[in-house]
Amino acid sequence: DPPRERYVPFFAEAPTPEAEEDAFRGAWAFLSASHPCAVYYYSKYERTALRKLAEKYPGVTSVEAVETFFGDESTVDLLFDIVERKTEWPCIDHSIKTLATYLGFRWRDENPSGAASIEWYHRFLETGDTEIRKRILAYNEDDCAAMRVLLEGIRERMRSGAV
């Protein structure tokens, strides 16, 4: 049986360094315990964000450990390593939203965007509204599912010679 997919969120519940560090600690522990395994991300944001968090919270992990993690051959930037270097798409851009939508994926939210999720997070911090928190987590989960759809689409295009 193939491993079952599951969404594991890490969320800073408050606008404090302690909450941010706790979320980072949980995420890093999960990544470290799961490695080696295939890790896919989309663009340099995740690498940059984790590097900055390691600089800010050296008690969690080191910048060198983050660089080693992202330097591993099983850790793949789908945008720069695959989409832009090895595939062609009949789309106006290579954003995850554009390509996953092209492949038939639909986000649950009617306004899915990274910028919107940042706004939602600020509103959550101001209000503590659990519905906003659920919206953020659903959006993030959909982004993860979209990445899987894109990866499957890339594999299918490679099998069919459509790259």
What global pTM score does this model have?
0.88
40/83 Cα distance (integer angstroms): 12
74/80 Cα distance (integer angstroms): 15
Q: Going residue by residue through the chain (163 aa), what tens digit of pLDDT does each one get?
A: 456 778 999 999 999 999 999 999 999 999 999 877 889 999 999 999 999 999 999 999 999 999 999 999 999 999 999 999 999 999 999 999 999 999 999 999 998 899 999 999 999 999 999 999 999 999 999 999 999 999 999 999 888 877 6
- pLDDT at residue 158, as a whole number: 86
For 23, the token pair is 């979320």
Residues whose CB falls within 8 Å of the CB of residue 51, separated by 6 or more in sequence, listed in order: 63, 66, 67
- pLDDT at residue 1, as a whole number: 45
- pLDDT at residue 3, as a whole number: 62
Residues whose CB falls within 8 Å of the CB of residue 57, separated by 6 or more in sequence, listed in order: 20, 21, 24, 25
Residues whose CB falls within 8 Å of the CB of residue 55, separated by 6 or more in sequence, listed in order: 63
98/124 Cα distance (integer angstroms): 27
Cβ-count burial 112-122 (b if 16+ within 10 Å, e if not): beeeebeebbe
